[in-house]
Amino acid sequence: MTTSHVSDEPAAPLTSSITLAITGMTCASCAARIERRLNKVSGVEASVNFAMESATVAFTAPATVAQLIDEIAAAGYGATLPPEPVESTVDGAEAAEPVDRVDVALIALRRRLVLSGLLTTPVLVLAMLPPLQFEHWQWLSLTLASPVVVWGGMPFHRAAAKNLRHATATMDTLISMGVTAAYLWSVWALFLGEAGMPGMRMEFTLFPEPGAGSEEIYLEIAAALVVFILLGRYLEAQAKRRSGSALRALLELGAKDVAVLRPGQVGEVRIPIDALAVGDRFVVRPGEKVATDGVVVEGTSAIDAALLTGEPVPVEVAPGDAVTGATVNAGGRLVVEATRVGTDTKLAQIARLVVDAQSGKAAVQRLADRLSAVFVPVVIALAVGTAGFWVGATGDVVTAFTAAVAVLIIACPCALGLATPTALLVGTGRGAQLGILIKGPEVLESTRKVDTIVLDKTGTVTTGRMTLVDVVPAADTDSAEALRLAGALEHASEHPIAAAIATGARALTGDLADVVDFSNVPGRGVTGTVDGRRVLAGRASWLTAQDIDLPIELADAVDEAESAGRTAVTIGWDGRARAVCVVSDTLKPTSAEAITQLRQLGLTPVLLTGDNRRAAAEVARGLGIDDVVAEVLPEDKVAVVQRLQREGRVVAMVGDGVNDAAALAQADLGLAMGTGTDAAIEASDLTLVRGDLRAAADAIRLARRTLSTIKGNLFWALAYNVAAIPLAASGRLNPLVAGAAMAFSSVFVVSNSLRLRRFAAWSQQVP
């Protein structure tokens, strides 16, 4: 688990937490400015995410939502509580699909891009192809370019003006300054210079030529810059929407209505899902989604949880089994009693974890924010310095102007601001699809450093359920007959070992016979009459105390089972022991494969359990684990993790029970099985929804891949600026090319992040 710096002053508890939708942000500098403003408010801790256009704010009672919104407005931006989906109506009928604010913004941006592009195309063609430059062509260019500069570039100009009122600067300031400078120079050259003369000709060059003087116009640069930047913004918006598709799909998984069975009413009543309450019983037909978390009370079926957990194999359920909301009933009719509804369901908890992870910031993101906050003022100073240098060195105002505009345009830090949040958005969304929940972005750093993984035994590498694994009959006894009688007797008991024998017997022999005169001797065994026979089942020593003869082969079977850490139940009747039923908590089928995968990631596995040494050693042998710590009390699990940390190891811990929660919190990286307790999940950094240990390896791989993508994005964003700014300042870069390069850098960062959508779990990879 990662820790954050804590000041010497005691902090007031944060009592409220909200997420605000932010409007008007155009780059990471905007996000950093809003974040600084909010964090200056007493009792407020805020994190602003540029990619998600949101602010996550925790605050104490003295602060109010209205105050927070006012602070954001004072910084020049808009803020609202995220609206509920608004459904349009036609003639009083509700529409099927809610209005999506992001879709509306995309449509408006696309309209502005298309119209600006249509007007700019002839301006570019005329400027770049001298044979097409007819007499007075420059005035047509002015007519076509003006709407693009004014209306097409209005979002940049409006944001720049707002920034100016607040004495700040952002990427929009750079764009607006560059576009406006190119346009105003062209207007001056046309009306007051020589560019407006009939027969004026101009050739396009990648590298500006000094000494062109007042006959040069830059209308194609002004208009094309607007189009390039709009195109970059549109592609970014589309990519961000695609990157959030996993979360939207997750949130849309739940059922919309449900058929409930009301006491005293005949038949089913269909109600909205919001009206369902804990304790209600509802019907799930084949093919329908389970409306909410609950327990099966009637029927048997197979539940397909692939959309929620990524696990393709349906799970068989029967009365008493728990089911999760949003999973699909693939078989027969079920009646389920609701145990959790609304925001308490597993689906809602998963969605919250994903949103929290996407809203937070990793260490690399905080570094990028700090760089972006000072980058824009530095770039403006560089542009002014560039212009001053060229005027002083050559006296050529045109060369100075083009170099300054190129610096303004190419240095926009948009790619830098998108590098981290976009990769985090895609990575956590993909994780949710695979049943891997990353609680926070700081987890990414932890996964890179981990070298040891501590594994709880029961429920993590084993099924956590007692299972009948073997029946050893005496020489003159049929094993099927012994199991049939044992299963009938044990069916009358509620002990987990008895249930394992009864389940195994039912699977092999079908229906179980009835038992009469059943008696339970706690800690020793049970007895009863089955088919006229008095049958005993329990410890071998108890049976011999009841004058039951124990054959040597069965005594050896008991010793062998107990040496392997298993439980041996001896069955006898008619004065003689007839068989030994061996019961054990078995390994999950995928655990050995998972250990191999973890080793491939450079992790050393350690098995940690409160079970006896023989049982632990048997499990470790089956998994190929050399380091075993057994017979550990719950409170001692923390001490084991601490000891490993003192040895210099960076420790990950995988567990599922309440007794694992403290160790999960102590570990440098905590992974909770999604099939485990809420306490374990709450204490962990990563949650493995499907309860498959292979997901631990996939989770670490995904987190490392996401971190690698973030670092790659930051490298290329910074390398682009470092390489391009000197080139632009040297006067060797046309501002038009600079604008195209700047837009491409942002698109590259987003596209690189989207590659995480193709991340596949090891189990999904084709050999």
Tell me which residues are annotated as active site: 456
With contact defined as beta carbons under 8 Å apart, do 648 and 641 qualify?
Answer: no
Say whether 255 sits in a helix, a strand or coil. Answer: coil
Task: Determine the straight-line distance between the first and last CA of the chain, rounded to whole angstroms.
Answer: 35
The two three-digit tokens of residue 585, written as one number = 């908590």
Helix (H) / strand (E) element for 48: namely strand 44-49
The two three-digit tokens of residue 518, written as one number = 């059943």
The closest of 722, 462, 498 to 618, measured between CA atoms, is 462
Say whether 596 sits in a helix, a strand or coil. Answer: helix
Strands 281-284 vs 257-261: parallel, antiparallel or unpaired: antiparallel
The two three-digit tokens of residue 141, written as one number = 């260019």
Q: How many CB atoms lie within 10 A of CB 179?
A: 31
**Separation between Cα atoms, residue 633 and residue 658, nearest integer Å:** 12
**Separation between Cα atoms, residue 613 and residue 564, nearest integer Å:** 9
**Separation between Cα atoms, residue 123 and residue 133, nearest integer Å:** 10
Q: How many CB atoms lie within 10 A of CB 758?
A: 7
Q: How many CB atoms lie within 10 A of CB 262?
A: 12
With contact defined as beta carbons under 8 Å apart, do 541 and 558 qualify?
Answer: no
Q: Which residues contact 141 (CB under 8 A, 6 or more apart)?
A: 122, 123, 126, 127, 217, 219, 220
Q: Which residues contact 735 (CB under 8 A, 6 or more apart)?
A: 178, 182, 218, 221, 225, 402, 405, 406, 409
Task: Name residue 679's amino acid.
Answer: A
**Separation between Cα atoms, residue 360 and residue 482, nearest integer Å:** 60
Helix (H) / strand (E) element for 569: namely strand 567-573
Distance of CA 36 to the CA centre of its chain: 26
- Bridge partners (DSSP) of residue 328 are 289, 304
The closest of 354, 312, 306 to 326, measured between CA atoms, is 306
With contact defined as beta carbons under 8 Å apart, do 710 and 465 qualify?
Answer: no
**Separation between Cα atoms, residue 431 and residue 536, nearest integer Å:** 51
Q: How many CB atoms lie within 10 A of CB 459?
A: 21
With contact defined as beta carbons under 8 Å apart, do 256 and 272 qualify?
Answer: yes
| CA distance readout (Å), 392 to 210, 313, 388, 627, 731 | 14, 74, 6, 73, 14
DSSP state of 494: -
Give me the count of residues in the chain: 767
- Bridge partners (DSSP) of residue 90 are 93
Strands 436-438 vs 334-338: parallel, antiparallel or unpaired: unpaired
Cα angle 353, 359, 364 (rounded to 5 degrees) comes to 115
Per-residue three-class SS string for 227-239: HHHHHHHHHHHHH
- Bridge partners (DSSP) of residue 688 are 436, 673
